[in-house]
Structure 1
Amino acid sequence: MELIQAISRYLNCPSRPIYVAYSGGVDSHVLLHCINQLMDDYPQHQYVAIHVNHGLSPNAQHWQLHCQQVCQQLDIALQVVQVNLQQTPRTSIEAQARDARYAAINQATPDNALIFLAQHINDQLETFLLQLKRGAGPKGLSSMPAVQDGQGQRRYIRPLLHNSREQILAYAKLHNLHWQEDESNQDSRFDRNFLRQQILPELLERWPGLASSVARSAQLCAEQQSMLDEISQQHLSTIQLDNGCLDISQLLALTSSWQKQVIRLWLSQQHIPLPSAKVMGLIEPELLRSPQDSEACIQWQDWQLKVFNQQLYILSDTPLPEREKKVWRGEKQLSLAGDQIKVEFSYQDNQGSLLCFAHRKSIIEIGFGSLNDSFKPAGERHSKPLKKWLQQWQIPPWQRGVIPLVYVDGQLAMLVGLCVAEMFSSGENKVWIKSLPNGGN
């Protein structure tokens, strides 16, 4: 009854799609069963179970079949999402599976979904200790919140976070539930399994109330982090520029500790993994106080911090596109650099950049040309190499090679989103061209 009450308070709300993350294990099975008991009491919602098949275990298909059978018995719809993991260096398979699972759920659920997860107080204890082992601050030690905002208007709900594993097992036995055991849970090479199997039993035997105590500490850390974020947001609102970068002079006006807090908040709001304390310690001496013409760069995982024109940029560590060109044959949209860049065309003004050319039979190519090509922008008196114009316009060096260029009959006619060449700035047969946002600086 206690589990039912813990869940029901989150269902007492206006109609929303309810998705239950269902792995087939005992925790998620109990959560799904409890929600199934409550569906008649809260008929305003649409209920769906969602199962993410990582394909990591030889038993993955058997688990999926089990989930399908259980959902059929409970008369609740099941949505299965397949995930193909590509293991990357310096990242554990546990973390990759977790990230892939959340990404898959985000993609498979509607924007306003409530997504129920089955973590409980023992999971919270494990998470806290793992964060402590990593040297985390208040944000990491906050561990898992009971309610967490996701992308769009999605909200993640952990209704059992104050309930124990023992309560969940007791419910499962009372209702004669059958579940699947993930064989990887027995592999103590994984940190969480090592804690669960070898460390926590002794700790809990000596201190039975440890999980509740740690949950209170996590809550206190969360409250402290919330206050830090509130003040950091005030700083960030004055430091962040319209282009999304940070103003270095204003950042340096803060103490070193507040600089780090503001940068962490800035990164977290863009869903970028936070750098380690060691990396954070390098930002001020190696970037913020670097010379104006410095090409300094700090990198972690797949991200880079760079400075240019007294601004701090965050960049995805993706290789520059090949010097490809595509011939435009009337399409509304062309993709470049493996879909990293998209360019839109229209014969009607769509508030994009305007290119005028004289003949519809002209060959129009778009892609990445040489920065040594001569170029004379409309309104300028002289022609000079493209790279000189980009330097004059203070375009960051790493952006110069990824600006789509338009060629008409072999002549450089336009820098998409920036300017048009003089000889193509007037005439007949107009076409509007603009690049679509790709989410990066």
Structure 2
Amino acid sequence: MLYPHFSSILKRYHSSGCKIVLALSGGVDSRVLLHLLSLFKQDNPQTECLAVHVHHGLSSNADFWAEQCHQWCSDSGLSSVVERVCLNLGSRISIEQEARQQRYLALKKHIQEGDLLLTGQHLSDQTETFLLALKRGSGPKGLSSMPEAASFGKGMLLRPLLSVSREKVVDYAEQHSLSWVEDESNTDTRYDRNFLRQYIVPQLTERWPDIERSVSRSAQLCADQEALLNELLAERLAKMIGADGGISVVSLHSESALARNQLIRMWLDTYSVLMPGRKQLSLIWNEVVCAQPDANPRLTLSQGEIRRYQNRLYWVDKQQDITDWRTEFTLNTPVDLPDRLGSIMLTDRVSENGFKLRAARPEERVWVSFNPEGIVAHPEERAHSRKLKKLFQEYGVPPWLRRRLPLIMYNDCLAGVAGLFVDRDFSGNAVEVVWDRQTQG
């Protein structure tokens, strides 16, 4: 019986008062999870549960799938929501990877402190993931495939069916007369995972019936080895990383090639970056770390860039061009900033050590911008005025952040750069700029 297994796993990880969120695609795996979660809700009525269906818009059936998921949730007595996402489908972008990334970004919005996100991967999915990692030539981390539980945003991602075979999942659905949707793309063997599912794994299991269990054990052994390696290097890595998240180039130079490659992988893993292969690690070292001292090197990866600045390596997420973004302040009303930069507010509730300015005159409008072009400022602690570009250099602001710091403008004059300095002509104690960066992704 699947429910006792499901219930025991949830009770192992779920904390009282925290929400359980189900990623509901509508396929048989998540459909079974929905049924199991509804039973768990009946046994634990105080537990808040929510099903989230992500609408990718890739199929002509996408609207129907969303309606079906909503109806199943309604019939099960569970709350549900549909998240619509837009995919960036460029010529060099993997549809699978982009859909996965946007799906998890959408799901993360519903995860608060201590919440659980349930996904429907099972034992056969683990086998496919292992074989895909093997095809890519992955090391222990890649071959460790998917863990049963992992941190996710402010909460945890849990795969309660990971040790259950696909056959048992389908049997459960049929025994309980559950209906589900079939994504037509699942039969398209141009996708590597579908090719494995349709042709390779069935032949392997026919020849060796226990191979999926064996693969699962190998994945766990790889995970154990990776965990041990990380444990042995964790203290060394902590000493290399500064308060700004950058990793010391000088410290990396003192390590062996094997150690520094693992340390770079561990550092990137803190940003949830897809693990670079051996070729990419070589490029990081030769083209970024070992570039000329006066260079501004960068290496672009699928999720962002690795850059060097003042003898440190930094991970930089993909950024939107927000140069032309601007908006006016209304006193004591937070303003949402673009591209995961949080929110900012101009308030007359002034604190002792806040970022304080004089009050605006009647003819002055106060607004926020990100375009530093042509701006000259005179920080109150400096003897002379300088172009903002030069001031950013003197304050040690990395190049990729120089169009990410909110510029507080009084009419066309810079009053201050949030978190950096106040201009001498606008110094005062009447209002305070409060920049809350906690909403950054």
Give TM class, smaller chain.
0.7 to 0.9
Write the distance in 2 (CA, Å) between the matches of 1:248 and 1:34.
50
1:284 maps to which residue?
285
- Check 1:302–1:31 CA distance in 2 against 1; reply closer, same or farther (3 A cut): closer
Three-state SS of the structure 2 residue aligned to 1:108 is coil
* Partner deviation per Cα, 1:271-309 (whole Å, 9 max, x = no partner): 333334322211222222333321111111241122121
2:251 maps to which residue?
250
2:145 maps to which residue?
143
* Partner deviation per Cα, 1:403-434 (whole Å, 9 max, x = no partner): 444444644443332223334335xx622224
Three-state SS of the structure 2 residue aligned to 1:12 is helix
Write the distance in 2 (CA, Å) between the matches of 1:138 and 1:438.
34
- Check 1:368–1:59 CA distance in 2 against 1; reply closer, same or farther (3 A cut): closer
Q: How far does residue 359 in structure 1 lie from its aligned partner after superposition?
A: 4.2
Q: How far does residue 144 in structure 1 lie from its aligned partner after superposition?
A: 1.2
1:181 maps to which residue?
182
For residue 8 of structure 1, what is the amino acid of its counterpart? S
2:119 is the counterpart of 1:121? no
Q: Taking structure 2 as the reference length, what is the TM-score of the superposition? A: 0.86
1:422 maps to which residue?
424
Counting only pairs closer than 5 Å after superposition, residues 94-105 of structure 1 correspond to structure 2 as: 94-105=96-107
Counting only pairs closer than 5 Å after superposition, residues 50-65 of structure 1 correspond to structure 2 as: 50-65=52-67
Q: How far does residue 179 in structure 1 lie from its aligned partner after superposition?
A: 2.9
For residue 6 of structure 1, what is the amino acid of its counterpart? H
Q: How far does residue 168 in structure 1 lie from its aligned partner after superposition?
A: 2.3
Q: How far does residue 128 in structure 1 lie from its aligned partner after superposition?
A: 0.6
Q: Assess if the C-alpha contact under 8 Å between 1:355 and 1:420 holds in 2.
A: yes
Q: Assess if the C-alpha contact under 8 Å between 1:18 and 1:116 holds in 2.
A: yes
Count of residues in correspondence between the two structures: 436
Q: Assess if the C-alpha contact under 8 Å between 1:355 and 1:425 holds in 2.
A: yes
2:396 is the counterpart of 1:355? no
2:9 is the counterpart of 1:5? no
Q: Assess if the C-alpha contact under 8 Å between 1:355 and 1:431 holds in 2.
A: yes
- Check 1:209–1:438 CA distance in 2 against 1; reply closer, same or farther (3 A cut): same
1:266 maps to which residue?
267
- Check 1:409–1:49 CA distance in 2 against 1; reply closer, same or farther (3 A cut): closer
- Check 1:277–1:355 CA distance in 2 against 1; reply closer, same or farther (3 A cut): same
Q: Which moved more, 1:38-47 or 1:241-250?
A: 38-47
Write the distance in 2 (CA, Å) between the matches of 1:41 and 1:156.
22
1:27 maps to which residue?
29
Write the distance in 2 (CA, Å) between the matches of 1:368 and 1:38.
49
Q: Assess if the C-alpha contact under 8 Å between 1:322 and 1:337 holds in 2.
A: no
Q: Taking structure 1 as the reference length, what is the TM-score of the superposition? A: 0.86
* Partner deviation per Cα, 1:2-36 (whole Å, 9 max, x = no partner): x2332121243553433333333322333333444
- Check 1:376–1:72 CA distance in 2 against 1; reply closer, same or farther (3 A cut): closer
Q: Assess if the C-alpha contact under 8 Å between 2:66 and 2:82 holds in 1.
A: no
For residue 192 of structure 1, what is the amino acid of its counterpart? R
- Check 1:22–1:381 CA distance in 2 against 1; reply closer, same or farther (3 A cut): closer
Q: Which moved more, 1:390-399 or 1:162-171?
A: 390-399
Write the distance in 2 (CA, Å) between the matches of 1:268 and 1:101.
19
Q: How far does residue 312 in structure 1 lie from its aligned partner after superposition?
A: 1.5
Three-state SS of the structure 1 residue aligned to 2:109 is helix
Q: Assess if the C-alpha contact under 8 Å between 2:114 and 2:156 holds in 1.
A: yes
2:391 maps to which residue?
389
Q: How far does residue 364 in structure 1 lie from its aligned partner after superposition?
A: 4.1
2:308 maps to which residue?
307
- Check 1:338–1:285 CA distance in 2 against 1; reply closer, same or farther (3 A cut): closer
Q: Assess if the C-alpha contact under 8 Å between 2:119 and 2:159 holds in 1.
A: yes
Q: Which moved more, 1:325-334 or 1:59-68?
A: 325-334
Q: Percent identity?
A: 36
Q: How far does residue 138 in structure 1 lie from its aligned partner after superposition?
A: 1.2
Q: How far does residue 245 in structure 1 lie from its aligned partner after superposition?
A: 1.4
Q: How far does residue 333 in structure 1 lie from its aligned partner after superposition?
A: 4.1
Structure with greater Cα Rg: 1
1:161 maps to which residue?
162
Three-state SS of the structure 1 residue aligned to 2:245 is coil
Gaps of 5+ in 2: none
Q: Which moved more, 1:234-243 or 1:358-367?
A: 358-367
Q: How far does residue 178 in structure 1 lie from its aligned partner after superposition?
A: 3.1
Q: Assess if the C-alpha contact under 8 Å between 2:85 and 2:103 holds in 1.
A: no
1:208 maps to which residue?
209
Q: Assess if the C-alpha contact under 8 Å between 1:47 and 1:76 holds in 2.
A: no
Gaps of 5+ in 1: none
For residue 163 of structure 1, what is the amino acid of its counterpart? V
For residue 354 of structure 1, what is the amino acid of its counterpart? K
Q: Assess if the C-alpha contact under 8 Å between 1:292 and 1:308 holds in 2.
A: no
2:90 is the counterpart of 1:85? no
Q: How far does residue 44 in structure 1 lie from its aligned partner after superposition?
A: 4.8
Q: Assess if the C-alpha contact under 8 Å between 1:49 and 1:76 holds in 2.
A: no
Write the distance in 2 (CA, Å) between the matches of 1:27 and 1:370.
51
Q: Which moved more, 1:53-62 or 1:63-72?
A: 63-72
